[in-house]
Amino acid sequence: MKYLLGVCLLGASLFSPAARADERPASDSTARNYSTFKRSLAINGLMQLRYVYSLSDNVNINGVHFTDDNTTNTHNTNSFLLRRIRVNTRANINDHFDANILMNLAEFSGNSNSRVLENAFIRYHRSRSFNVQFGQFRPFFGPEDMLPADIIKSLDYSNQYNLFGASGWQSFQLGAAVYGDLNTTGRVPFHYYAGIYNGNNRNQVNDNDDRKNYYGRIEADLAKNVRIGLNAAEGSWVDQKGHAWGGDISATLPLSGRTKFELISEYKQGTNFAEYAAAKVDDRKAIGQYYNRGFYVFPNFRYECNLPRLRSVEFSSRYEYLQENYKINDNLRQTITPMVSFEFADDYYARLEVGCIIDMFDHNIPNSAQYNHTTGVLQVQVRF
């Protein structure tokens, strides 16, 4: 995987000079000092507020089963929540450099240790075919990494995304990446991503070992609205090595003048470092026994109302198939998330979502989160 990063860097540098010449603004040719060229500062935010209600007996709002004599798990079955309170700052230093900071202030309401700060990176933009990013951000390891939380078409990211994030394959990590577009004028445009990062999750003082995680992703536009992607990664957790890989397809198909169908589907599998680290030392098996895999299918129907106060209505129902540790104590988890969304301002600037999360396991484990349950969710979102 480490050689893939070098190949991507070399390939991108071959393509970037022409692209840089094409993108140079007309006024660029007369400039002699680019210190403040196109300098700007933008601050925006997101608020996602929720009301959740457990629709299953003896299951709390976190999906954990409880009994009357169990005092370990909380018994609350409904609550108002601050899901995300994000503030994002982007500073364009000039036409090539920018800096980004993203904080989730909702993390202060819980255990904020090693949380709150999400993005903190500097980016060098040379051309469409060559960009370098350094700092803390989400590695480009699947379609969900390309989507900010404020425009995802469901209540939240998939269970698969959270599971792989716990093992350091996704979510916010500290490292560096290169990415860009290739063959943009050809019949099949390509997009590449490659990077290296610590792999021990966000806001850590140091890496927990001398090894690093390497990943690469390639996307191809098979048609105007159809894209496939493949990604692979190699990583470590202290003294253990592992790997992950996956593939996905996304498409947008217009059905009529106001209706369109959107689809994202992804399969991924990889080493479950989090489960390995949580196992008692005396009971630990070889790292190759800790493995997870899963896929999801996420269809979304969008109807453009184009009314002054109601811009669109969306209907979706994501289906997930997830085996968190299928070689040891496998307990298949299937999740269905039906949802209807009302958009009151374009580009999801004001949105109301109503839906539920239905979790089904092969076998129930009392007093745990592996227990069949349904949770109702009402979420209000504004961007600004």
SS3 letters for 311-328? CEEEEEEEEEEEECCCCC
State the chain's mean pLDDT as an integer: 88
158 in a structural domain: yes
For 78-107, give one letter per residue: b (16+ CB within 10 A) or e: eeeebbbbbebebebbbbbebbbbbbbebb
Q: Is residue 30 part of a domain?
A: no
The structure tokens 């819980």 sit at: 110
Is the residue at 203 inside a domain? yes
Cα distance between residue 58 and residue 68, in whole Å? 8
Q: Residue 262, SS3?
A: strand
Beta carbons of 242 and 253 less than 8 angstroms apart: no
Q: For residue 32, is it within any domain? A: no
C-alpha 45: how far from its chain's center?
A: 18
As beta bridge partners, residue 24 has none
| Residue 189 and residue 221 in contact, taking contact as beta carbons nearer than 8 Å | yes
Residue 9 covered by a domain: yes
Domain range spanning residue 195? 2-25+37-383
Kindly report, residue by residue over 43-79, the tens digit of the pLDDT. Answer: 999 999 999 999 999 999 999 999 877 666 678 999 9
Q: How are the residues of the chain apportioned to helix, strand and coil, as percentages rounded to the nearest 5?
A: 15, 50, 35
CA distances from residue 94 to 28, 131, 346, 373 in whole angstroms, order as listed: 12, 14, 29, 51
Q: Give the CATH number of the domain where residue 158 resides.
A: 2.40.160.10
Report yes or no on 313 lying in a domain: yes
- Separation CA 118–CA 99 (nearest Å): 13
User: The whole model's pTM is what?
Assistant: 0.86
Q: What are phi and psi of 367, to 5 degrees?
A: 60, 35
- Total domain count, the chain: 1
What does the pLDDT read at residue 23? 41
pLDDT in tens, 95-136: 999 999 999 999 888 777 778 999 999 999 999 999 999 999
CA distances from 148 to 119, 257, 269 (A): 11, 27, 23
Residue 73 has a pLDDT of 65
The CA distances from residue 378 to 155, 187, 231, 317, 375, in Å, are: 9, 43, 34, 15, 10
Residue 195 domain flag: yes
| 141 membership: H or E segment, kind and range | none
CA atoms within 13 A on the CB side of 95: 14
Q: Does some domain include residue 286?
A: yes
Burial label for 115, CB within 10 Å (0-12, 13-18, 19+), is middle
The partner residues of 97 in beta bridges, in order of sequence, read 124
Rg (CA), the chain: 22
Round to whole Å and give the CA distance between 182 and 188: 9
Three-state DSSP at 11 gives: helix
What the block records as the tokens of 106 is 């909702």
DSSP conformational letter for 148:
-
Alpha helix stretches (DSSP H) within the chain: 2-23, 159-166, 273-278
CA dist., res. 311 & res. 306, Å (int): 5
Q: What is the chain's pLDDT, residue by residue, as a tens digit (384 residues)?
A: 444 444 444 344 433 443 333 344 444 556 688 898 999 999 999 999 999 999 999 999 999 999 877 666 678 999 999 999 999 999 999 999 999 999 999 988 877 777 899 999 999 999 999 999 999 999 999 999 988 878 888 889 999 999 999 999 999 999 999 999 998 888 899 999 999 999 888 888 888 788 899 999 999 999 889 999 999 999 998 888 999 999 999 999 999 889 999 999 999 999 999 999 888 888 899 999 999 999 999 999 999 999 999 999 999 999 999 999 888 888 999 999 999 999 999 999 999 999 999 999 999 999 999 999 999 999 999 999
Please report the sign of the dihedral spanned by the C-alpha atoms of residue 100, residue 106, residue 112, residue 115.
negative
Q: Can you read off the two tokens belonging to residue 4?
A: 């893939």
